[in-house]
Amino acid sequence: MKSNRKSYADKRRENVIVGLKSLGEKLYEHMLNGVFPWVEMPSRSIDNIFYDPELRQYVLGERKVRRSAGNVRHISSFTKLVWTAFFVKELTKQKKTSTLRDLYYSAQAYEMSFKDQSESDNIITDLETVIGYPREDFNVFPEERSAVFGDLTIEYNVPGYEGRRMNLTSHPDGVMIGPALTYADFVSTKADKVIAIEKGGLFTRFIEEQVHKKFNAILVLTAGQAPRATRTFINRLNSELDLPVYIFTDGDPWGMHIAMVIISGSANAAHLRKLTTPDAVWSGVWATDIVDYKLPSDKLTDRDIKRLHELAKDPRYKGELWQREIKTFLKIGKKAEQEAFSRYGLTYIVDEYLPTKLESAEA
Amino acid sequence: MKSNRKSYADKRRENVIVGLKSLGEKLYEHMLNGVFPWVEMPSRSIDNIFYDPELRQYVLGERKVRRSAGNVRHISSFTKLVWTAFFVKELTKQKKTSTLRDLYYSAQAYEMSFKDQSESDNIITDLETVIGYPREDFNVFPEERSAVFGDLTIEYNVPGYEGRRMNLTSHPDGVMIGPALTYADFVSTKADKVIAIEKGGLFTRFIEEQVHKKFNAILVLTAGQAPRATRTFINRLNSELDLPVYIFTDGDPWGMHIAMVIISGSANAAHLRKLTTPDAVWSGVWATDIVDYKLPSDKLTDRDIKRLHELAKDPRYKGELWQREIKTFLKIGKKAEQEAFSRYGLTYIVDEYLPTKLESAEA
């Protein structure tokens, strides 16, 4: 499985360093040529974001924006971008992590006066756009943590743990996906699929009912909308280990969209790749499941209905399954949660629903 | 450290079973004596909740309520309470966990028609009150998960993991506190203190900077308001291992209250014990730290100010430290986050602030 000696983390780090160096060299070159240094990057404004049916994700179009030190209106954001590149280089070199919040405060030590955190967050997104890698690759992580459980042996790369291995069945509450696990190497697995689950309660139920053994699966808890590190992790399970991915969410427009963001990403990340898993499958809870399984359900709210009409027009939802389910939701006017299967006993979801759904997806 | 052979989980389980049996026996007795069965429990209405300065937590007063099968107005809630006791006995016997949501849906299989989840949640709280143990002890867990990291070897009790041990430094992202860890046994530790931290970013920073080694500490991530399982876990670290507990939160009324709920609990849990750690210390970020360290800060909002005035009158906040800090917050009109120390570099909080605070707390 490990095709070469370089760890996954080292490769990501090198990519970032190459990107940062190339940025720095350009700036030096400009100055040596006697011009004000500038940076060019694809525009992230709404009218430059397109859905790419080939890549099955949002991408940025051709339009570019340029920030120049020679333009008084640009000089502040240009300087902040260069400082952020410097800060991030230090993080990467020292193998330290930071949050977006930390970065905002760290800037104050350098008298980089960001108006507020949304300004510094935006500069980080600029830097992602310039060098083409997500901020997690240069060690800037969000707060949220999700988890994973199943037969996968990983090898750590973080300082003090280099070369140490862990099997992800070691902790029966699930192993937290933080910076260390996100960039660990995958050593070996006997699993033949990945099952992603929206809610912690069901994740624990699946572990207790040994879904990982019975279905030979690696279980991933998304804990609501999956953090980007978790989406990267799912992408890696799919692309590096060649494992099919099945996603189980609540049966409502919000659950459906949790699945969609894992599959096709979000417009916010149109400037990035490798955060999506286009071949992942949304396996339930479908609107048609609510009917077929006579699930306890709640009435759709006005907000739910509005959201469904939005999704119906979204290019990511063009496929037959999605359109059918959106229509069914609107027709029955109902939604149901994953836990609704408990109506048939706590293990029904594992004994009956899950195998039926996996079979139909594999067929 | 392990004073007898019985695991922590077994002891909790036995307590619950004893409580459930005693409840059942009383009901049988009533019926054998030819009377309608009834249950009596302390009232949880506001006017029966008192702050106990000895226990340093909220407790219920003398007033009792009685639910009788002989009263038409009680028969529904009485029946649901008995059903819940039955359901929970099954969970405990089978060593399965459930969420509050699962329980709500499971009831439908028995035609226990709870109006909504808040009704079934309330019945679970009744059952806690009747048998005197938190719902986690009878395997009903919430969704939220926090984490722990440090030199503590634990031994699992959950099915399939009996007797397996893990050192809580094994996973450098932190080990998730779910059902399995909450009721694991503590085998051995070299740590001499516990540091609880509000935010994931700082928790990761502390691990990276080896706070667990440098300060010989077990690190607990509360992830905002600590879930009850985490408060139980902190109580156990303090009471079973005799470790002092220091809590670091954001410097605002909400952070202060995260610390307070770990220390003295909430009015909602007045019917329970062992969820609090009265000797735990709130070590920062204090209002006076904002002044002393010249931290970057934000203006208090009207909501913050209102909250501070509420806390000033709260019996849990009687102590000198709390009153001084509340006054200082109001005087300076400012609040600061933990990450604000990044203003002095990412490691300042570990190199300078933390040792100063721990020294002053130990003095």
Spell out the SS3 assignment of B118-138: HHHHHHHHHHHHHHCCCHHHH
CB contact under 8 A, B208 and A97: yes
Q: Which residue of A has its CA nearest to B95?
A: A208
The catalytic residues of A are 105
Whether residue A295 contacts residue A338, with contact meaning beta carbons closer than 8 Å, is answered with no
Q: Looking at CA atoms only, how far is residue B49 from chain A in angstroms?
A: 31
Residues of chain B positioned with their CB less than 8 A from the CB of A204: 97, 141, 178-179
A105 in B contact zone (CB under 8 Å) = yes
Return the structure tokens found at A172.
Answer: 């029966």
> What region does A329 belong to: left with phi over 0, alpha with psi -120 to 50, or beta?
alpha
Burial class (CB in 10 A: 0-12, 13-18, 19+), A359: exposed
Whether residue B249 contacts residue B258, with contact meaning beta carbons closer than 8 Å, is answered with yes
Q: How many CB atoms lie within 10 A of CB B128?
A: 22
Q: Which of B176, B208, B344 sits opposite A96 (nearest CB)?
A: B208
- In the three-class reduction of DSSP (H, G, I as helix; E, B as strand; rest coil), residue A176 is classed as strand
Distance CA B276, CA B284 (A): 19
Write down how long chain B is.
363
Distance CA B301, CA B298 (A): 9
Distance CA A224, CA A207 (A): 18
Return the structure tokens found at A269.
Answer: 């990340």
Residues of chain B positioned with their CB less than 8 A from the CB of A150: none
Residue B183 annotated among the catalytic residues of the structure: no
Q: What is the ipTM of this complex?
A: 0.83
CB contact under 8 A, B172 and A166: no
A85 in B contact zone (CB under 8 Å) = no
pLDDT score of A228: 85
Buried b (16+ CB within 10 A) or exposed e, A228-237: bbbbbbbbbb
| H or E segment and range at residue B166 | strand B165-167
Q: Do the bridges between strand A49-52 and strand A57-60 make them parallel or antiparallel, or are there none, so unpaired? A: antiparallel
Residue in the block written with tokens 């995260």: B258
CB contact under 8 A, B166 and A170: yes
Provide the number of CB pairs (under 8 Å) joining chain A to chain B: 171
A86 in B contact zone (CB under 8 Å) = no
Q: Looking at CA atoms only, how far is residue A97 from chain B in angstroms?
A: 7
pLDDT score of B273: 82
Distance CA B218, CA B215 (A): 9
CB contact under 8 A, B174 and A176: yes
Residues of chain A positioned with their CB less than 8 A from the CB of B144: 200
Q: Residues in chain A with pLDDT < 50?
A: 1-3
Q: Report pTM.
A: 0.86
Buried b (16+ CB within 10 A) or exposed e, B229-253: bbbbbbbbbbeebebbbbbbbbbbb
CB contact under 8 A, B173 and A172: no
Longest dimension (CA), chain B: 75
CB contact under 8 A, A172 and B166: no
CB contact under 8 A, A147 and B96: no
Distance CA A56, CA A54 (A): 5
Cβ within 8 Å of A, B 206-245 = 208, 210, 223
Residues of chain B positioned with their CB less than 8 A from the CB of A97: 201, 204-205, 208
- Integer CA distances (angstroms), A126 to A69, A82, A167, A290, B308, in order: 16, 11, 37, 43, 39
Distance CA A243, CA A219 (A): 12
CB contact under 8 A, A98 and B158: no
Spatial CA neighbour of B110 closest among A350, A344, A202: A344
Residue type, A25: E
Q: Which residue of A has its CA nearest to B159?
A: A208
Spatial CA neighbour of A109 closest among B81, B57, B349: B349
CB contact under 8 A, B201 and A346: no
Q: How many CB atoms lie within 10 A of CB B143?
A: 16
CB contact under 8 A, B166 and A161: no
Residues of chain A positioned with their CB less than 8 A from the CB of B121: none
Q: Do the bridges between strand A334-335 and strand B281-284 make them parallel or antiparallel, or are there none, so unpaired? A: unpaired
pLDDT score of B170: 96
Q: Residues in chain B with pLDDT < 50?
A: 1-3
Q: How many CB atoms lie within 10 A of CB A60?
A: 19
Please name the residues in contact with B142: beta carbons below 8 A apart, sequence gap of 6 or more. B99, B100, B227, B228, B229
Residues of chain A positioned with their CB less than 8 A from the CB of B145: 145, 147, 173-174, 200, 223
User: How many alpha carbons fall within 13 Å on the CB side of residue B228?
Assistant: 19
Q: How many CB atoms lie within 10 A of CB B73?
A: 9
pLDDT score of A144: 67
Please name the residues in contact with A34: beta carbons below 8 A apart, sequence gap of 6 or more. none
Angle between helices B75-94 and B117-131 (to 10 degrees): 70
Q: In the beta sheet, which residues pair with residue B99? A: B141
Distance CA B106, CA B115 (A): 13
Distance CA A111, CA B137 (A): 52
In the set B8, B51, B58, B105, the catalytic residue is B105
Q: Which of A145, A159, A296 sits opposite B200 (nearest CB)?
A: A145
- Integer CA distances (angstroms), A4 to A7, A133, B224, in order: 8, 22, 41
CB contact under 8 A, A105 and B156: no
Q: Looking at CA atoms only, how far is residue B102 from chain A in angstroms?
A: 5
Please name the residues in contact with B176: beta carbons below 8 A apart, sequence gap of 6 or more. A145, A147, A171, A173, A174, A175, A176, B145, B146, B147
Q: Looking at CA atoms only, how far is residue A250 from chain B in angstroms?
A: 13
- In the three-class reduction of DSSP (H, G, I as helix; E, B as strand; rest coil), residue A334 is classed as strand
